[in-house]
Amino acid sequence: MKTSQFEPGDCLKTTFVVEPKDWASFEGETIHEVCSTYALAKEAEWACRQFVLKMREDHEEGIGHGLSIHHKSPAMTGQSVEMQATLLAVDGMKVECTWEAKVGDRLVAYGTCAQTVWRREKIAEHWKSYVIEP
């Protein structure tokens, strides 16, 4: 894993626009027509993954092992949400970030995200241990 290009405190940003697919919906019933917490989870992991994408080698891949979310205010349909991931630490193959989501200057959510970079073949072997044969 290439880590020398980043230091704790470095930031990377992504953005997304809230769409109906991001609404808080369960089993076909829309609860709220605003960005759901679970949509924010996906976008938070994507924002933090940008560090992994720039640090991993071709034979490596990231695997998530932690995500926290503190959802503070709504992001409305059509609003652009800026996700900022801040590198907290790289410890061996572990990449830890904090993140925040904002609409303009308004904080929508914040949290942490942790991923570990493994060799692709190690991930494939790891998954095999969870397969239940019929």
The Cα 106–Cα 25 span in angstroms is 24
- Structural element, H or E, at residue 127: helix 120-128
Residue 100: pLDDT band (50, 70, 90) is very high
Contact status, residue 51 vs residue 83, Cβ threshold 8 Å? no
| pLDDT (tens digit per residue) in 49-92 | 999 999 999 999 999 999 999 999 999 999 999 999 999 999 99
Phi, psi of 44 (to 5 degrees): -65, -45
The C-alpha atoms of residue 52 and residue 50 are separated, in whole angstroms, by 5
Report the C-alpha gap between 134 and 132 in whole angstroms: 6
- Residue 132 scores a pLDDT above 90: no
- The answer, yes or no, to whether residue 29 has pLDDT greater than 80, is yes
Q: How far apart are CA 69 and CA 65, in angstroms?
A: 14
What's the rounded Cα separation, in Å, for the pair 69 and 116? 19
Band the pLDDT of 129: cuts 50, 70, 90.
Answer: confident
Alpha carbons 52 and 55: distance in angstroms, whole number: 5
Please state, in angstroms and rounded to a whole number, the distance separating the CA atoms of residues 35 and 88.
26
Could you give the domains of the chain?
11-128 (3.10.129.10)
Confidence of residue 119 (pLDDT cuts 50, 70, 90): very high
Q: Which residues contact 120 (CB under 8 A, 6 or more apart)?
A: 59, 60, 61
Radius of gyration of the chain (CA): 17
